[in-house]
Amino acid sequence: MALLQVRELTKRFGTFSALNGINLEVRSGEVFGFIGPNGAGKSTTIRVLLGILRATSGEAKLFGKDAWQDAVDIHKRIAYVPGDVNLWPNLTGGEVIDLFVKLRGGNGRSKREELIQKFDLDPKKKCRTYSKGNRQKVALIAAFSSGADLYILDEPTSGLDPLMENVFQECVLDVKRQGKSVLLSSHILSEVERLCDKVGIIRQGKMIETGTLGELRHLTRTHVTVETKQPVSSLEQLAGIHELEVKGMELSFQVDSEEMDNVIRHLSTFGIARLECSPPTLEDLFIRHYEGTGGVR
């Protein structure tokens, strides 16, 4: 069943088209990664889903209800973490968490305490003293204490340190195990890869790819730097090798993800002394596939 369904959604601000026909579907129990560069329309889409902005045309439905008309009903079942969390400077973090938990009508007291521990937040401090990361923790704790059916998270980790990113990922996996759904927006491909069943890529207000990570594998390349014991021959003749550079025994190149197996087999016959791989970045992907084409390959 589709919990969240967006069809041909457009949003214009004056003459500027922020969204040009977005299509999106999140099914029950699914973690959906919503990725795209900054300014692509991720937050705008999410704000339409929350009834904060009104769609110019098209349809946005959550739990089968209209995102604008039935906002209050819908919000009883969702938890939202904005990309840029702003809080009331003269309230403490704990007070803000309580407010949101109670506005949702829950009392996730024990869950709340557990999450405060996990995220290592001092809830007694006033919000004005919190860093961006701490404000984000406040919003995350409030969201994950709520027992919602759908979690809408807009770039939730942009201010968190790596340790806290792990805690966040555990939280997402935890709600996924309970059969809840998550819409997770990000501009970091690797973050989405670890958590999401499905990925949609947005650029300039249009969805340009949607599918499982496996289905999108053909889009990604991995950067490889390798040092071998013997000189490598005829690597450039293998399929899927790009931008090969040779510096003595050290090679660096990019490889299409589906050709990875072949390439590593070939390399290992020369004896691998050192191997470094870095995951593909969203930026690379955009540069390669969509540069200057307005989102059409």
Partner 1 sequence: MASPLTARTGRLTGFILRLDRLRISLWLIGIVFFTLIVPPALSGMYGSQEERDVMVETMANPAMTAMLGPGDLDNYTVGAMTAHQMLLLTSLVVGLMAILLVARHTRADEEEGRIEPLLGSPVSRTRLLGAYTVLAMANGFVMLSLAAIGLWSAGNASMENGLDFGTIYGAAVAYYPAQLVLIGLAAFFVGFVPKLTALNWLYLFYSFVVLYMGGLLQVPDWTKRMTPFGYVPNAPVEEVTLLPLLVLGLIAAVLALAGFAGYRRRDIETS
Q: Which residues make up the interface to partner 1 (CB under 8 A)?
A: 43, 47, 50-54, 71-73, 75-76, 78, 80-82, 84-88, 90-91, 95, 99-100, 102-105, 139, 142, 152
Q: Which of 188, 195, 215, 193 minimizes the C-alpha distance to 281?
A: 188
Q: Are strands 16-27 and 150-154 parallel, antiparallel or unpaired?
A: unpaired
- Number of C-beta neighbours around residue 263 at 10 A: 20
Q: Are 157 and 5 in contact (CB under 8 A)?
A: no
Nearest distance, CB of residue 121 and partner 1, angstroms: 16
Nearest distance, CB of residue 97 and partner 1, angstroms: 11
Nearest distance, CB of residue 174 and partner 1, angstroms: 21
Nearest distance, CB of residue 155 and partner 1, angstroms: 13
Q: Which of 297, 132, 143, 129 minimizes the C-alpha distance to 207?
A: 297
Backbone angles phi and psi of 83, in degrees to 5 = -70, -40
User: Which one, 67 or 219, has the nearer CB to partner 1?
Assistant: 67
- Dihedral, 114, 116, 122, 127 alpha carbons, nearest 10: -150
Q: Which of 3, 1, 34 minimizes the C-alpha distance to 19?
A: 34
Question: H/E element holding 32?
Answer: strand 31-35
User: Which one, 49 or 241, has the nearer CB to partner 1?
Assistant: 49
